[in-house]
Amino acid sequence: MKQISTDDFDERIYDDEETALVFFHRDGCTVCSSLERYLLDIEDDYTGVAFYAVSAEDSMELFERFSLMGVPQTLLFARGALVQRLSGRKRDDDYEQALGALASAGR
């Protein structure tokens, strides 16, 4: 999972229209750390989906752009369009189902 900034986000998500999972986190958040480990474990299972991490502290403008409240937040994009949000730490099945649908939509 690649850490990206606001500028990287705009280029990759909007300009390149990538199909992507964008994970918002902050340092010291134990729930964020748990989710990040899980996402790293499954990342290779979804080859058509780019996985990105964004520090909410370092990219507050991006955090506010999507009116996010708290972390972790996971946004899913298909060809540059926001298609789903997952707030907090959901069940593993929720992420797998969302990513399966996202991978299909991104084709």
- Residue 44 half-sphere exposure, CB side, CA atoms within 13 Å? 2
Contact 53, 23 (CB under 8 A): yes
Question: What are the pLDDT digits (tens) for 35-91?
Answer: 999 999 999 999 899 999 999 999 999 999 999 999 999 999 999 999 999 999 999
Closest listed residue to residue 96, CA positions, set 41, 56, 42, 16 = 42
| Stronger pLDDT, 103 or 28, i.e. the higher one | 28
Q: What is the DSSP letter of 16?
A: S
Instruction: Look at residue 107 in the predicted model and tell me its pLDDT.
Output: 58
- For strand 50-55 and strand 20-25, is the pairing parallel, antiparallel, or unpaired? parallel
Distance from chain centroid for Cα 40? 12
pLDDT-based confidence at residue 106 (cuts at 50, 70, 90) = low
pLDDT-based confidence at residue 103 (cuts at 50, 70, 90) = confident
**Average pLDDT score over residue span 96-105:** 91
Closest listed residue to residue 89, CA positions, set 74, 76, 69 = 74
